[in-house]
């Protein structure tokens, strides 16, 4: 605005020499410059008479003078008082809409590296890969919604991005949105908190419902958020009824998400549900070979076999270990990574996994994973959605830490060692027949080891 006023003052000086003193005082000096819009300078006149007289007597002179001092101006628009209020209101609404839309700008762009071509297919993921590929090739026509579940670092997010990247390259007009459930929740909270709720709600719904493909990562994090679930339910329904493709990932099957509303469970199970398992040895080796090829690493074959044999938790940890091996060999000036660096990397990995790991830290991670309060987990509540996480937590502690059973019991409200033994043995036995339970435990251990 300061730049406009500065230039306008120069216009006034020139116009004072081109018109009579009376015309200048009545029709020129009383003009108020507001903004430049679409190569037009918007001016307010003090009265309708002044506006009419100005346009009749001096418009051409004023326009020519304005063009001398303003760049890229084609015309002037003069508004009278009755038009001023409406114009200012329109400007205000436009600015509010821009500001509101900025709140909901999508910060989670698709990662171009995650494609179907870069995804290594094996026995553990061949069916989910085929389902994702089918959805990408026929969005909204088959497998809607597609619900993918599995542990940390197994490729769920990779497949979401691969679907999005494939659709974007083959259907350029389709509108694709990938977000995490955390981003969805944050956007919804922003809409609730906004000063202009009507504008914010519209912008929120435009973002999530005016799309052809909606992909939500880690949906489990809305499971204990009632109002967010309500909003997502309506978003889901709107898209589904319009045959828009919905793809969702989670760390567990919908039926095992205790605090997820039944109507959402029903929606999720109405499409195709596919799990993604930990990769077998052959797939892990193929993943490492793909990584070496893509990044052009120089690594001995024995190293890849060694890493694939030793690390079976998740792909993220597997690739991270390979990066560690290559970095170690580079630091000491070796042209090729060898078994010496591989053994050193795994030694460092095992050390970093145990450093700073405490009973309290494991309890904290388990609470976050199951969306339960710490005081409930370590307390005396006996309902199923607390007891199972409590037993799992005790089991994981005995697996990862070398601490006395009595110390573990103390952390859980002063329970004796027999309670800890019972929890440990029960989870160990149930994991043999309960696939979902085993997935939860493996997922938790992987999260704890990776430092998440």
Which phi and psi angles does 160 have, rounded to 5°? -60, -50
281-354 classified as CATH 1.10.10.10:
no
Sign of CA dihedral 16, 22, 23, 24: positive
Whole-number pLDDT of residue 362: 92
User: Which pair of tokens denotes residue 7?
Assistant: 């230039």
Winning range, highest mean pLDDT, from 4-8, 90-94, 113-117, 414-418: 113-117
d(CA 286, CA 211): 36
| pLDDT confidence bin for 102, thresholds 50/70/90 | very low
Q: Which has the closest alpha carbon to 390: 415, 357, 354, 407? A: 415
d(CA 287, CA 122): 10
According to DSSP, the β-strands at 40-44 and 75-79 are parallel
Per-residue pLDDT, averaged over 319-341, amounts to 88
Q: Is the pLDDT of residue 61 over 80?
A: yes
Residue 312: CB atoms within 10 A of its CB come to 15
**pLDDT, tens digit, 9 for 90 and up, residues 215-236:** 999 998 887 788 899 999 999 9
Which DSSP category does 404 fall into? Answer: -
Q: Are 109 and 212 in contact (CB under 8 A)?
A: no
User: Which pair of tokens denotes residue 324?
Assistant: 């560690």
Angle at 56 between CA 51 and CA 59, to 5 degrees: 80
Superfamily of domain 126-276: P-loop containing nucleotide triphosphate hydrolases (3.40.50.300)
**pLDDT, tens digit, 9 for 90 and up, residues 115-145:** 999 999 998 899 999 999 999 999 998 899 9
pTM: 0.60
Whole-number pLDDT of residue 104: 46
CATH number belonging to domain 2-79: 3.30.300.180
| pLDDT confidence bin for 55, thresholds 50/70/90 | very high
Whole-number pLDDT of residue 430: 93
Q: Which has the closest alpha carbon to 290: 312, 315, 324? A: 315
Map out the domains of the chain as residue ranges: 2-79, 126-276, 281-354, 359-450
Q: Which has the closest alpha carbon to 279: 142, 401, 158? A: 158
Coil vs helix vs strand at 153: coil
| pLDDT confidence bin for 353, thresholds 50/70/90 | low
Whole-number pLDDT of residue 392: 95
Radius of gyration of the chain (CA): 32
User: Which pair of tokens denotes residue 15?
Assistant: 């116009």
Whole-number pLDDT of residue 170: 92
Q: Is the pLDDT of residue 12 over 50?
A: yes
Q: Are 192 and 218 in contact (CB under 8 A)?
A: no
| pLDDT confidence bin for 356, thresholds 50/70/90 | low
**pLDDT, tens digit, 9 for 90 and up, residues 260-310:** 888 999 999 899 999 998 888 999 999 999 999 888 999 999 999 989 888
User: Which pair of tokens denotes residue 423?
Assistant: 């929890």
Task: Among 1.20.200.10, 1.10.630.10, 2.60.40.10, 1.10.1750.10, name the CATH number for the domain at 359-450.
Answer: 1.10.1750.10
**pLDDT, tens digit, 9 for 90 and up, residues 144-185:** 999 999 888 899 999 999 999 999 999 888 999 999 988 898
């Amino acid at each position: 605005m300061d730049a406009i006023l500065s230039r306008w003052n120069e216009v006034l000086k020139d116009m004072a020499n081109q018109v009579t003193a009376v015309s200048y005082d009545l029709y020129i000096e009383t003009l108020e410059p507001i903004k430049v819009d679409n190569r037009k300078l918007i001016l307010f006149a003090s009265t309708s008479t002044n506006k009419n007289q100005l346009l009749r007597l001096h418009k051409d002179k004023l326009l020519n003078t304005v063009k001398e001092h303003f760049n890229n101006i084609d015309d002037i628009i003069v508004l009278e008082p009755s038009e001023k209020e409406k114009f200012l209101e329109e400007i205000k609404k436009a600015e509010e809409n821009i500001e509101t839309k900025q709140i909901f700008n999508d910060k989670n762009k698709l990662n171009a590296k995650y494609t179907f071509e870069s995804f290594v297919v094996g026995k553990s993921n061949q069916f989910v890969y085929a389902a994702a590929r089918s959805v990408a090739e026929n969005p909204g026509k088959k497998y809607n919604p597609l619900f993918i579940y599995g542990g940390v670092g197994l490729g769920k997010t990779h497949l979401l991005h691969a679907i999005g990247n494939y659709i974007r390259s083959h259907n350029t007009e389709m509108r694709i949105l990938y977000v995490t459930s955390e981003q969805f929740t944050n956007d919804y909270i922003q809409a609730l908190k906004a000063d202009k709720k009507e504008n914010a709600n519209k912008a929120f719904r435009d973002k999530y419902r005016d799309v052809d493909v909606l992909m939500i990562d880690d949906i489990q994090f809305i499971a204990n958020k009632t109002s967010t679930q309500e909003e997502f339910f309506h978003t889901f329904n709107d898209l589904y009824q319009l045959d828009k493709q919905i793809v969702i990932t989670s760390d567990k099957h919908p039926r095992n998400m205790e605090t997820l509303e039944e109507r959402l469970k029903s929606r999720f199970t109405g499409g195709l549900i596919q799990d993604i398992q930990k990769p077998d040895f052959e797939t892990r080796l193929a993943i490492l070979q793909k990584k070496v090829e893509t990044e052009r690493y120089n690594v001995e074959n024995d190293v890849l076999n060694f890493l694939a044999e030793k690390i079976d938790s998740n792909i993220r940890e597997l690739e991270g270990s390979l990066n560690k091996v290559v970095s170690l060999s580079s630091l000491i000036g070796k042209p090729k990574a060898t078994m010496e660096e591989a053994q050193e990397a795994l030694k460092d990995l095992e050390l970093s996994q145990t450093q700073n790991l405490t009973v309290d830290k494991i309890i904290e991670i388990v609470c976050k994973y199951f969306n339960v309060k710490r005081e409930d987990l370590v307390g005396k509540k006996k309902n199923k959605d607390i007891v199972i996480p409590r037993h799992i937590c005790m089991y994981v502690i005995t697996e990862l830490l070398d601490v006395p059973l009595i110390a573990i019991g103390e952390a859980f409200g002063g329970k004796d060692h027999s309670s800890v033994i019972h929890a440990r043995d029960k989870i160990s036995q149930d994991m043999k027949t309960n696939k979902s339970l085993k997935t939860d435990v493996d997922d938790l251990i992987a999260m704890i080891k990776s430092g998440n």
